[in-house]
Amino acid sequence: MLREINKNDSAVFREFLDSRSAVISTDVLVTVSGIIEDIRKGGDAAAKEKTKQFDGIEIDDFKVSEAELDEAEAKCDPAFKEAMRLAAENIRSFHKAQLRNSYLQQKEYGIYLGQRVLPLASCGIYVPGGRAQYPSSVLMNAIPASVAGVKRIVMVTPPNKEGTIHPNIAFAARLAGITEIYKIGGAQAIAALAYGTETIPAVDKITGPGNIYVAAAKKLVYGKVDVDMIAGPSEILVAADEGADPVFVAADLLSQAEHDPMASAVLLTTSRSLLEQVNAELKKQSDVLPKREIVRQSLEKYGTAIVCDTIEECIQFSNDIAPEHLELMVSDPMKYLNLVQNAGSVFLGYWTCESIGDYFGGTNHVLPTSGTARFSSALGVDAFVKTSSFLHYTEEAVNAYGKHIITMAQEEDLEGHANAARVRLK
């Protein structure tokens, strides 16, 4: 059942928004800080000790060999491999359109200036392992990096109890063109990517999802390296009109509720009848899901509904929430798209379930959570490039504009700056 909030009760609505903030406890940060310091000082030896401590595995060599990849790929289901190839094509096509060009401006007196768009030299992709396996995350992180022109793309993933990586993850890495793969997970993997060890050279940026310890490690190493985001629990918001199918709506809400007891599923609708039918469907559909206990906890704490007068009003509430996933389950979704200001990714119409974007459609599934869509973006090519500006002034240009530069520098009481221009004047 979704807890209904009255649209006029701003205090309850604000409480709901505040409850979704992704806060990492001090205890976790202290623990992870210790792990990072151990890896920074102890390198491979410390990383092996942490892998034995947390994963119960003794690792002789973190590097995954070509022979291991061959053996793993041979175990993959052919149908899965075909689906992944098609998904990779869609993801690559979408992200190629994001490429930005460098530019040059030419002005009077021989002045020219511009900006270069440069790929990062290296990045590290964290891929969860253990009982979970998310090969789709490999594609979503590695393909934009590859399209951006990153030369060294590294993948880290925890080893399983046999000391190997999951076959599906191995295949995804090969499909994405990753050739440097290490069997290491948790905060120790993030530390290794940030500071480097004897085996694992450091990278410039770290991306990819993980548990609370991985998130804490990314938070703590930021500044030494860049990170994509500190992701919170998964979220979905469905804005639905009276024409929406309650079976579809319930299924889509459950698709995110099954991720985590902290995941939030929100329905904004113009139809009270639809809300009642969706609640009935949630009970019916969740009862047969393997992760129904996780679903129950998620819906009990964060499952929420608001009945609005119009779809425009639904979108106003959605913009306040700034959801990770927003489904506009309405008859004419493009009519409303420009009203959406804050959302990680938007899914249009009755048939576009969020899982299409998670796996196959081409848009990225690494998205801002916990309201951060107000100021941040989905992972994409821009995450793997940097810009560098350049500027050229001739003698004539300095003589023409030097007095203005001197005036501005003196107003800021920086006489050295002023003098650098003054000595060039004729």
Domain locations in the chain?
3-22+232-361, 26-102+122-227, 393-422
Are 114 and 387 a contacting pair, CB within 8 Å? Answer: no
pTM: predicted TM-score of the whole model, two decimal places: 0.94
Residue 166 is among the residues annotated as catalytic for this protein: no
Distance CA 13, CA 19 (A): 10
Catalytic residue among 258, 281, 324, 327: 324
Nearest to 299 by CA among 232, 248, 253, 268: 253
Domain 3-22+232-361 CATH (choose: 3.40.50.1980, 3.40.50.150, 2.30.22.10, 1.10.10.10): 3.40.50.1980
Task: Say whether 324 is catalytic.
Answer: yes
| Same topology between domain 3-22+232-361 and domain 26-102+122-227 | yes
Give me the catalytic one of 95, 166, 281, 325: 325
pLDDT in tens, the chain (426 residues): 899 999 898 788 878 777 766 678 999 999 999 999 999 999 999 999 999 999 999 999 999 999 999 999 999 999 999 999 999 999 999 999 999 999 999 999 999 999 999 999 999 999 998 666 899 999 999 999 999 999 999 999 999 888 999 999 999 999 999 999 999 999 999 999 999 999 999 999 999 999 899 999 999 999 999 999 998 889 999 999 999 999 999 999 999 999 989 999 999 999 999 999 999 999 999 999 999 999 999 999 999 999 999 999 999 999 999 999 999 999 999 999 999 999 999 999 999 999 999 999 999 999 999 999 999 999 999 999 999 999 999 999 999 999 999 999 999 999 999 999 999 997
Among 205, 252, 250, CA closest to 227 = 205
Place of tokens 């490999």: 138
Looking at domain 26-102+122-227, its CATH superfamily turns out to be Nitrogenase molybdenum iron protein domain (3.40.50.1980)
Q: How far does Cα 306 stand from its chain's mean position?
A: 28
Predicted confidence at residue 11, as pLDDT, reads 85
pLDDT of residue 222: 97
